[in-house]
Structure 1
Amino acid sequence: MNKTNIVSLFFENAEKNCQSCCFHSKEQGLWKTYTWKEIANSVEKLAQILLSFGVQQGDRIAIISTTRREWTIADLAILACGAVTVPVYPTYPLHRIQYILEDANVRCVFVETDVEKEKVQEAIKENKAKTIIIQITDTDNKDVFSFSNLLIEPLAERFNIPDYLSKIDSESIATIVYTSGTTGQPKGAVLTHKNIFTEVMATGQLFTFDKDEVGLLALPLSHVLGRLIQFHHLSQGYQLAFIEAFDKFAENCRDVQPHFIVGVPRILEKMYERIAARVDNMNPLGRIIFQWAHRVGVERSLLIEQKCCVNLSIKIKYFFADLFIFRKIRGILGGRLNLFISGGASLAEDIVRFFHAMGLLVLEGYGLTETFAAATVNRYDNFRFGTVGKPLSCVEIKLDADNEILINSPTVFQEYLNKPEETLNVKTNDGWLRTGDIGVLSEDGFLSITDRKKEIIVTSGGQNIAPQMIESAIMESRYINYCMVYGDQKKYLTVLVTLNPVSIVEYARKNSIEGLFENIVLNPKIKALIQDVINEKNKKFARHETIKKFIILDRDFLQTQDELTPTLKIRRKIICEKFKDRLDQLYKE
């Protein structure tokens, strides 16, 4: 069996771990565990079925589903056939799903529910006879195959899966991952088995977990970081639990009691906001105790980050801070959690430091779809808050003349599908990947991201401004959910703001502001509150980087309105187009 691809490595681990727990999955209201043998049997059976359907090496097969056990089984079965997985976010609108299915020439689609099935049927209606649909949830629809039924039906013919695995070489295409795209149409990044295998081996050198440890995956498997963790787990042999839904995060943590979590920054931001709100509602003594504990935690955190010895006095104080405060907070998340790997978007440094003070290490990394997730990462024993860490062992990084981050690595993708010109433009003459991100490298190799090159705002006065830096500062306020800075070719900066309903309603109650949320946001007291937040944040920036005016929206930015990517980053171009008239009003004297 070819052991240079991730599927062969999975089968090897499945044979070795056999009856040990592989997955935890909540199904029909109950958590179920699945052994490595059970998962391996399902993968092999599904691969047999796909081959019986006529799937051949190189065929493209899409998966349109949330994060769940069946996603991984389908992915591994597709790869075991020598076929190519095309992940698609179920939140995508019909026109984007149609574009991806056509661009990738998909011949088979796994869908989660009737909702995704209907989108696919509409997208392929001109080509229905050529596309196989397999539905993960139970269905009586005769037009599609049932995932669960396929796994229990007897096979009419058996194929030798090891033979198919042996035909996979390092340059064989494994997956085509479409960039979620904050601007324009998504591009299909073609990634090989070498790209994936190299990345998994490199991250495996840095992060190792025992087979009794449990990780909670709180990321879409359609995202490359979610997929990397899936393959990292399958190569290492620990246990992995799938989040039921993002609004069930705390409940799932209490049930599963994870040792580590991989998730988007928004999870930590929400946790931070809830803790801050609880502290505000404490009695004076409770607040004093929490603030003391937090100061002790920060002092200890700084010493650990600087690799200094934590003296006995701080150890004793931290013991009591942890006993009476921090342990109770971590208990909400199951009690065993000590690591959160954050990816998919940036996270405010203050929030990272806040959680480390409480005994939860948050490690950020940096990567792209085009590098199959991480290119740099902070380590357990070598981290620096406010940075995205140091390069992986297989990655070289340098900065171009304009400080754009360039990457050279065997993890760098092969090409953009059907887009030769764009592939050419994203690489330098000597083959380095142009990331489109602006960064700073410290003398000892830590990388910091300052902004997206294409999102740099150039004011009418010629000042170059990084909007993400300002947005991150404003979004540190618990009253603000999202914001978008605006001002390209304008005299000054303005910002669109969406509010956190929980914090705003609580503030309204305390300040005798009545009415529904959409009316509360229009109240002058709320506008004054947000003005105070912006005034305070403006103190951090140079004069040309300060916000002069703002608009408060009466709703949040939404994925369903195409305003957020699946990892909850703002789609700047779409938001600018939608709210351009209102924003331009801010520049009329």
Structure 2
Amino acid sequence: MNERNFRNFLVRRTKENGSRLLFQKKDGWSWKQITWPDLVTEVESIACFLLNSDFSTGSRIVVLSPNTLACLFFELAVFALGGICLPARNMKEAREILVNSSGNCFFLCASAAEARELVETSALGEKIEKVFLSANEKIPVEGKTVSYSNVVKFGFLGRKKLKDEISAIGSSVKEDSPAVIFDAGATAAESKTFSHGDILDLLRLSEEELGEISVEDQTFSYLPGCGSFSKFANLLNLQTSARGAIAEGTEDFFLDVPEIMPVMLFLPGAEIENVVNSLQGENGSGGNLRSDLGGRIRLLLTDALPPERTRDLLLAQNISVVKLSSLSVVP
């Protein structure tokens, strides 16, 4: 297990952390607790389903999905099999990636409507091996599109049989194997490839930028973009062992942040001013930003600093805005 790759990284971090809490996920009116072993089980279940869907080392998957917990787990499963994620900012970019791809691709998206739009387009549908949803929409089990819940359920059923194969594949992925390609629909000169080693190095550098972090520290993220900050920031919980929660969308962010009470908040620069303005209006108390953000926040981490006026408002309530430069390499 000498290769620096995500499978070996995840195994090592799980051994170090045991059964500690890693993520929390809203489940109705309560919160589901996800431990390190829970994460491994879910990632292996997804990887098992992918293997049974003819996904193999080097396979590519276009990702047109918000950066939710389900999306994170799915991407970790792709990495564990030596696959490559191709983030898309919108449907237009997803189409360009498919058109310019030299071979067939898998697809991860947030809704069945998006899946149908692509699958039913003859020229593009032929290039899609299978579509996976990062949400739990009810759709027929048969066909080219599979819901997240069915991926996990059927993958879990076959996990015991394929566990050793998944482990062997994952542990042998090379450090310089590509894991994520940004702007994959553009020319080779314009696209940006990150290997397993590249991303693990960025996570280590980010941890150094952050300084000392306790395993009891709570993080919360709302990352709607698909640049390097939005794609990699949620992986930082695996590096730092801090407990995390991830907003599913804008509405969930405002509903959940007072309950989560984060110490660190991850937001893209483009969203910070929107959040502050909203908390000063209909979604907040109108003045006490710290209280509206859970009362414990000390760091707001981003890829681009907001206007000085917004930074001053936050700093006045002891909330420091820090640009995490190591992760902010692809807009």
Shorter-chain TM-score tier: 0.7 to 0.9
Residue type of the alignment partner of 1:349 = E
Q: Match for residue 318 of structure 1?
A: none
Report the CA distance shift for 1:267/1:175 in structure 2 as closer, same or farther (over 3 A).
closer
8 A contact 1:109–1:132 mirrored in 2: yes
> Is the counterpart of residue 199 in structure 1 residue 202 in structure 2?
yes
The one-letter code sitting in structure 1 at the alignment partner of 2:111 is T
What displacement does 1:221 show? 6.4
Q: What is the CA-CA distance between 1:270 and the residue it aligns to?
A: 3.1
TM-score under structure 2 length normalisation: 0.84
- In 2, distance between residues paired with 1:12 and 1:365? 25
Q: In structure 2, the residue corresponding to 1:162 is in which secondary structure?
A: helix
Is 1:37 matched with 2:41?
Answer: no
CA–CA distance in 2 between the matches of 1:97 and 1:274?
31
Whole-Å separation in 2 of the counterparts to 1:257 and 1:11: 29
- Alignment-derived partner of residue 146 in structure 1: 147
Give me the whole-angstrom Cα distance separating, in 1, the residues matched to 2:128 and 2:257: 42
What does residue 155 of structure 1 align with? 158
1:335 is aligned to 295
Within-5 A mapping of 1:124-273: 125-128=123-126, 131-136=129-134, 137-141=136-140, 142-143=142-143, 144-153=145-154, 154-155=157-158, 157-158=161-162, 159-178=164-183, 187-207=190-210, 208-220=212-224, 222-273=226-277
Distance 1:61 1:179 in 2: 11
3-state SS of paired residue (1:203): helix
Structure 1 residue 168, shift from structure 2 partner: 1.6
TM-score (normalizing by structure 1): 0.49
Once the two structures are TM-superposed, the CA of residue 49 in structure 1 deviates from its matched residue by 2.0
Rounded to whole Å, the distance in 2 between the matches of 1:205 and 1:17 is 19
Q: Distance in 2 between matches of 1:74 and 1:178?
A: 20
Matched residues, number: 319
Structure 2: distance between partners of 1:173 and 1:100: 16
2: distance between equivalents of 1:34 and 1:114? 26
Summarize the Cα distance change of 1:124–1:226 in structure 2 as closer, same or farther, 3 Å threshold.
farther
Contact 1:217 1:226 in 2 (8 A): no
Counterpart residue identity of residue 74, structure 1:
F
| Alignment partner, residue 113 of structure 1 | 111
User: What is the aligned partner in structure 2 of residue 354 from structure 1?
Assistant: 313
Q: 1:72 and 1:274 mapped to 2: Cα distance?
A: 27
Measured on the aligned residues, the alpha-carbon RMSD in Å equals 3.1
- Give the match for residue 517 of structure 1: none
Q: Deviations over 1:386-409 (max 9, x none)?
A: xxxxxxxxxxxxxxxxxxxxxxxx
Contact 2:100 2:185 in 1 (8 A): no
2:328 alignment partner AA: A
Partner of 1:102: 99
Question: Aligned partners of 2:82, 2:230: CA distance in 1, in Å?
Answer: 21
- Aligned counterparts, 1:57-76, within 5 A: 57-76=57-76
Deviation, 1:262, is 0.8
Change (3 A) 1:123 1:27: farther
Distance in 2 between the 1:56 and 1:274 partners? 45
Letter in 2 for 1:138: E
**Which position in structure 2 is the counterpart of 1:23?**
23
2:158 alignment partner, SS class? coil
Q: Deviations over 1:2-44 (max 9, x none)?
A: 4522332122222332322211222445432211111110111
Deviation at 1:216, TM superposition (A): 0.8
Whichever structure has more helix as a proportion of its residues is 2
For residues 13 and 221 of structure 1, the distance between their equivalents in structure 2, rounded to whole angstroms, comes to: 27
**Identical-pair percentage:** 18
Label 1:253 to 1:103 Cα distance change in 2 as closer, same or farther (>3 A). Answer: same
- The 2-side partners of 1:235 and 1:227 are apart by 15
- Contact preservation (8 Å) 1:338, 1:359: yes
Contact 1:340–1:363 under 8 Å retained in 2 = yes
Amino acid at match of 1:33: Q
Instruction: List runs of 5+ in structure 1 lacking aligned partners.
Output: 283-324, 368-372, 376-412, 414-566, 568-589
- Cα displacement (A) at 1:123: 4.7
Match of 2:328, SS?
strand
Deviations 1:251-296 (A, max 9, x none): 2211211111010234432354457779xxx9xxxxxxxxxxxxxx
Map of 1:86 onto structure 2: 86
Assess, with a 3 A threshold, how the Cα gap between structure 1 residues 2 and 374 changes in structure 2: closer, same or farther: farther
Change (3 A) 1:276 1:97: closer
Structure with the larger RCO, 1 or 2 (CA within 8 Å, 6+ apart): 2
CA contact (8 A) 2:266 2:302 kept: yes
Alignment check: 8 A CA contact 2:206 2:324 kept: no
Kept in 2: contact 1:25–1:68 (CA 8 A) = no
Aligned counterpart, 2:328: 374
Amino acid at match of 1:330: R
Q: Secondary structure at the match of 1:32?
A: strand
Q: Is the 8 A contact 2:23 2:245 kept in 1?
A: yes
**Alpha carbons of structure 1 residues 277 and 237: separation in structure 2 relative to 1, 3 Å:** closer
| d(CA) in 2 for partners of 1:239, 1:351 | 27
Distance in 1 (CA, whole Å) between partners of 2:185 and 2:289 is 34
Equivalents in 2 of 1:217, 1:275: separation in Å? Answer: 16
Deviation at 1:228, TM superposition (A): 2.1
Distance in 2, matches of 1:132 and 1:111, equals 11
Partner SS for 1:155: helix
Q: Which has the larger radius of gyration?
A: 1
User: Which stretch shows the higher mean deviation, 38-47 or 147-156?
Assistant: 147-156
1:384 is matched with which residue? Answer: none
Distance 1:118 1:30 in 2: 33
Q: Distance in 1 between matches of 2:275 and 2:55?
A: 45
Taking a change above 3 Å as real, the CA distance of residues 236 and 272 of structure 1, as seen in their structure-2 partners, is: closer
Structure 2 unaligned blocks of 5 or more: none
Q: Distance in 2 between matches of 1:88 and 1:274?
A: 27
Cα distance change on mapping 1:18 and 1:113 into 2, 3 Å: farther
CA contact (8 A) 1:175 1:192 kept: yes
Q: 1:123 to 1:234 in 2, by over 3 A?
A: farther
SS in 2 for 1:131: strand
Within a 5 Å distance, the mapping from 1:537-556 to structure 2 comes to: none
